[in-house]
Amino acid sequence: MKNRNIIIVGQQAWDTEIGSNCKNIALEFSKQNRVLYINPALDRISKWRGRNDPKVIKRMEVINGNQSGIEEISSNLITLYPSCLLESINWLPHALFNRINKLNNKRFFHAIKPVIAALNFTNPVLFNDGDMFRSFHLIDLLKPDFSIYYSRDNMLATSYYGKHGTLIEPQLITKNNLCVANSEYLRDYCAKYNFNSHYVGQGCDFDLFDDYLQKQGHQTKISNKKPVIGYVGVLTAARLNIQLIEHIARSRPEWTIELVGPEDDAFKTSKLHDLENVKFWGAQPISDLPKFIDGFDVCFNPQVLNDLTIGNYPRKIDEYLVMGKPTIATKTKSMEAFKDHVFLANNLQEYLTGISELMKNNSASYTTERVNFARSHSWERSVSEIYKACNKTQLL
């Protein structure tokens, strides 16, 4: 796909601090196409809750006409903050939700339509990153040449999206010309409603890790007196198995468990804080994450198995592997693709066995294989798969 006008809508704004699949895809698209990245429109509850947040203040400046919502990221990539305020309606019963959601969609469309025209984004391709509510009617209103729905998380497993999304998302998937997913599990889910559904893999941005390795010079880590088993990321019981972590720590007091990231209430009140061999580092600057990973003897991802995690592509695994680290993770369908480079465990005993084996058998050749495998997961490759999927539909 070259020399096209691509309009992107999604769940994450361009000014988000965390990593975003959609932003990476937009940057890759923009190498060969013009891209308009439309940020999610502000809703009333978010306006009230974040009234002192600089991001919300910025959006209100745009809505009030005191600031332009258009920002040029590069010659081929523009981001837009819509000049509209949407109603907060997720709490409504489904029939009423649908009626007001259609009005929200029209409000959103009329806010972005003049910009699309001014930028001459004719005959566009619409790429929707899971924006199942705000952009549900956008295909009908915008009438793009081609539409793509991107599934990268099982959002229906969350209470917010599950309330109305179980009825709305299948309809939206059906509406699109093509669906692409970053896991085989989500591809299979989309295929129930659209036979043009394809697995396109996942990319990972390694610039942060490359900078660290270049500055530090990567050397095999000298183990501490106590081996360190580590995790980097948000510590939430919705995704991580607290009991499993506790049992690992109690079963192997000679190991140190290090957890780097902000905690939810379940973690804050867990028995993990009573264990001497469990250390919480709290939230850390993103720039410091490679340093923490480099300090681990073994990296782990002790996911809990539920509807939210079963189809999730764990980007952190690529980040562990690009640092050459021995890694163990809970076995899921999405993790099957990593089985030659990551020890996959089903239970406590397999975690204990796997961690021990990884520490015993950590050769330079294994390290090289891990790094090379992680680097094969580039955004260039993932977007190339999206282009191939577009071509398979024979509509572009």
- What is the predicted pLDDT for the residue at 277? 96
In this chain, the answer to whether the domains covering 5-203+378-392 and 207-375 adopt an identical fold is yes
Q: What mean pLDDT value characterizes the chain?
A: 93
- What is the predicted pLDDT for the residue at 307? 82
- What is the predicted pLDDT for the residue at 311? 78
The torsion region of residue 130 among left (phi > 0), alpha (psi -120 to 50) and beta comes to left
β-strand pairing of 70-74 with 77-80: antiparallel
**Ranges of each domain in the chain:** 5-203+378-392, 207-375
For the CA atoms of 241, 245, 251, 252, the dihedral, rounded to the nearest 10 degrees, stands at: 150
Q: What is the pTM of this model?
A: 0.85
Cα→Cα distances 157→179, 192, 310, Å: 19, 17, 10
- What is the predicted pLDDT for the residue at 217? 58
Burial of 287 (0-12, 13-18, 19+ CB in 10 A): exposed
DSSP readout, 290-315? HHHHHT-SEEEE-B--STTTTT---H
Cα–Cα distance, 393 to 391 (Å, whole number): 5
Nearest in space to 293 (alpha carbons), one of 252, 245, 260: 260
Q: Lowest mean pLDDT: which of 93-97, 135-139, 224-228, 294-298?
A: 224-228
Cα–Cα distance, 207 to 168 (Å, whole number): 37
Mean pLDDT of 199-211: 90
Q: Which band of pLDDT confidence, cut at 50, 70 and 90, is reported for residue 308?
A: confident
Q: Which of the 8 DSSP states describes residue 6?
A: E
Mean pLDDT of 26-45: 97
pLDDT exceeds cutoff 80 at 18: no
The CATH number corresponding to 5-203+378-392 among 3.40.50.2000, 3.40.190.10, 3.40.50.720, 3.40.50.80 equals 3.40.50.2000
Structure tokens, 122: 């004719």
DSSP readout, 115-160? HHHHTT--SPEEEEES-TTTTTTHHHHH--SEEEEEE-S-GGGSHH
Q: Enter the CATH code of domain 207-375.
A: 3.40.50.2000
Q: Which band of pLDDT confidence, cut at 50, 70 and 90, is reported for residue 222?
A: very low
